[in-house]
Structure 1
Amino acid sequence: MDFKSFTESIQDMIKEFLPGDYKNASVELVEQTKLNEQYTGLVVRKEGQVVVPTINMNALYEAYEADHISLAEAVVKAASMAQMQPDGIEINPGNIMNYDIAKHNLFIRVSNAEMNQETLQNVPHQIHEDLAITYHIAVSMDEENGMASTLVNNNMLKSYGITQEQLHEDAMKNAPILMPATVCSMAEVMKKMMMSDMLAAGMDEETMEAMLADLPASEDMPMTVVSNERGLNGAASLFYPDQMDKVAEKIGGDYYILPSSIHEQLVVPDDGNMSSVDLGNMVREVNATQVSPAERLSDEVYHYDSKDKVFEKAATFEARQKTKQQEMAGPKKEAAMENAAKAPKKHKSNDMSL
């Protein structure tokens, strides 16, 4: 069965597997376009329901096509998902549409502009090189249930009666409060991850200390990880006000930025030990083998010039530096030629022997 037939079959059959109060529910197939993700969704909505789950039909079809589930099992699974409501999450539409409330729950995300062209046509955003900053409202945040949020679109912005500039300003004020930035060495991050795994495994304290002592020191691992306290959509924290300068102060100057994923960015000092070409090869290899498409940010390497306060692609930075050197060399060359012209000329005497 092809994808179209599969989705239409689920749409036609799903009510047979739902409780009686779904008798008059609407069942619709909708095209979902989100950041880094596009899929066909199935929405089952009872009368009066405001918030309902969207069932990812592409993921369900992949399981069916791989013979992991039958059509009947797919319908049962879809019916179960249609009745799900995130535990502990109460969503009040007024908290989203009332800007006086919503602005206190604003945060930002960063994504690849080219990969999300269709989505960006309908939402307010800012472009920095090939990355797009978008604005989101946290609907619910807690440790047990995670985070639910909604993307601010152009219609919402219009209903708020504010400009995109005001939205950006408010988001930049609130995001660092809602999702504080973190700047840690790679060694610190590895230590925290290992400690968490060892505690979960019930390892005793003495063994933990012995294993952690074998980890490389921070100075042996020059990478710094920039994220947020939740580790969720943390790559955007680098764009918080003054955050790039704070990172520069921490590592001692200019640096390259490796877009590890939408959740964090890696920073490497621009100290001549690694070239942008090598770093670019590293980013592309990791993206291709370790990062899922939904979490991929970019294959580019970026650079922050702490003196000129410029964020740009590494290639752009290097071209700018080359131009700057040439411009500086021009006056020096002219001065040298002028000094040479002013210097007294020396004449060689011709000696002849008879």
Structure 2
Amino acid sequence: MTYEQFVERMEERVRAALAPGRSVRLRSALKNNGRHRKGLVFTEAGVNTSPTIYLEEYYERYQAGSSFEEVAGQILALYGSVRMDRSWDGERLSRYENVKPRLICRLINRERNRDLLEEVPHVPYLDLAVVFHVLVDLEADDRIATMLVRREHLKWWHVTEEEVRRAAGENTEKLLPAEFKTLCAVLAQAGMEEPPVQADPAGAYRMYVLTNSIQNFGASAILYKDVLKKIGAFLKEDFYVLPSSIHEVIILPESSAPSWRETAMIVKEINETQVMEEEVLSDTPYFYRRSEGALALPGWEKEA
């Protein structure tokens, strides 16, 4: 069964199982890096929220050996659990005083998301863009549910883009504090033995990982106040920031690094071979110079 056939058949199967007063429709959504995802949108009479369950993961389960009925049951079970949780209904989301303490920042690639950025408030940063989300739910196992802030939300809330930016900037570090660890410690925690790039025979590469407390969209930790300044003080030298994914960046001290162009080749290779397309942040390494206290693009990017 092709993915398109799976999607159409699943929509029919789920619709047939819903109780009166509830409905489902298929929706294609533009996600990070221009990827379109298909999901089932559930609606219910008298309920303002419409949860969406995306189907790619469930098609993978079907391909891995689960029966179609098993997968349909999993989707219906998830909808049932979401339906019972009305902690963030449409009325709560429509009031700015409710969402303001939950606004957070995320970093995405600017060029790869040109279409999306036409629809959402954002702030350019290097070759990236800062976008804003409402942190709807953060569960004990670090699963996260968010809502992307779009331009129409600003109208609902009667606020400016600057107000949202300021609130999100203040909240993100509090809700999702930064974590800074050696790359070896992170890989050991994940059960991996080797780093994605090899050290030279003398072990010259000293690499660290900067992310947030849940390792989800943790690359935005580079935006936190003084975090890069503190890393520079710890390393006692300038350093590269390698955008390894939207979830984390790798910190590479200048004394341990090859040239800027060679570093860019490393980032590009990792993105092409080890990072899902939807999770790529950038192919461009950045450089933090302590005397300037800011990240910089490589010279060839500035000239482009």
1:52, 1:85 within 8 Å by CA — same for their partners in 2?
no
Shift of 1:317: 7.8
Q: How does 1:176-191 map to 2 (within 5 A)?
A: 176-190=173-187
Find 2:272's aligned residue among 272, 288, 294: 288
State the secondary structure of the residue aligned to 1:158: helix
Q: Can you list the C-alpha shifts for 1:150-180, whole angstroms capped at 9, x where unaligned?
A: 1111011122222212211121111111111
Distance 2:186 2:67 in 1: 43
Q: Residue 290 and residue 189 in structure 1: after superposition, are their counterparts in 2 closer, same or farther (change >3 A)?
A: same
Shift of 1:6: 4.6
Question: Are 1:11 and 2:11 matched, yes or no?
Answer: yes
Q: Residue 50 and residue 267 in structure 1: after superposition, are their counterparts in 2 closer, same or farther (change >3 A)?
A: same
Q: How does 1:157-176 map to 2 (within 5 A)?
A: 157-176=154-173
Distance 2:216 2:142 in 1: 13
1:15, 1:23 within 8 Å by CA — same for their partners in 2?
no
Question: Are 1:106 and 2:90 matched, yes or no?
Answer: no
Find 1:27's aligned residue among 11, 15, 24: 24
State the secondary structure of the residue aligned to 2:169: helix
2:257, 2:263 within 8 Å by CA — same for their partners in 1?
no
2:181, 2:210 within 8 Å by CA — same for their partners in 1?
yes
Which of the two has higher C-alpha Rg? 1
State the secondary structure of the residue aligned to 1:280: helix
State the secondary structure of the residue aligned to 1:271: helix
Q: How does 1:135-154 map to 2 (within 5 A)?
A: 135-144=132-141, 146-154=143-151
Shift of 1:135: 0.8
The alignment of Structure 1 onto Structure 2 pairs a total of residues equal to 292
Q: Can you list the C-alpha shifts for 1:252-275, whole angstroms capped at 9, x where unaligned?
A: 232211011111111112237421
Paired residue for 2:47? 49
Distance 2:149 2:206 in 1: 37
Paired residue for 1:351? none
Q: TM-score scaled by structure 2?
A: 0.82
Unaligned segments of structure 2, at least 5 residues: 192-202
Find 2:121's aligned residue among 121, 124, 141: 124
Unaligned segments of structure 1, at least 5 residues: 198-218, 320-354
Deviates more, 1:297-306 or 1:149-158: 297-306
Distance 1:17 1:173 in 2: 44
Q: Can you list the C-alpha shifts for 1:229-253, whole angstroms capped at 9, x where unaligned?
A: 2222111010123333222222223
Find 1:83's aligned residue among 80, 84, 100: 80
RMSD in angstroms over aligned alpha carbons? 3.1
Distance 1:134 1:56 in 2: 21
1:52, 1:82 within 8 Å by CA — same for their partners in 2?
no
Distance 2:117 2:187 in 1: 35
Code of the aligned partner of 1:186: L
2:103, 2:171 within 8 Å by CA — same for their partners in 1?
yes
Distance 1:162 1:130 in 2: 27
2:246, 2:281 within 8 Å by CA — same for their partners in 1?
yes
Q: TM-score scaled by structure 1?
A: 0.71
1:43, 1:82 within 8 Å by CA — same for their partners in 2?
no
Shift of 1:35: 2.5
Paired residue for 1:298? 282
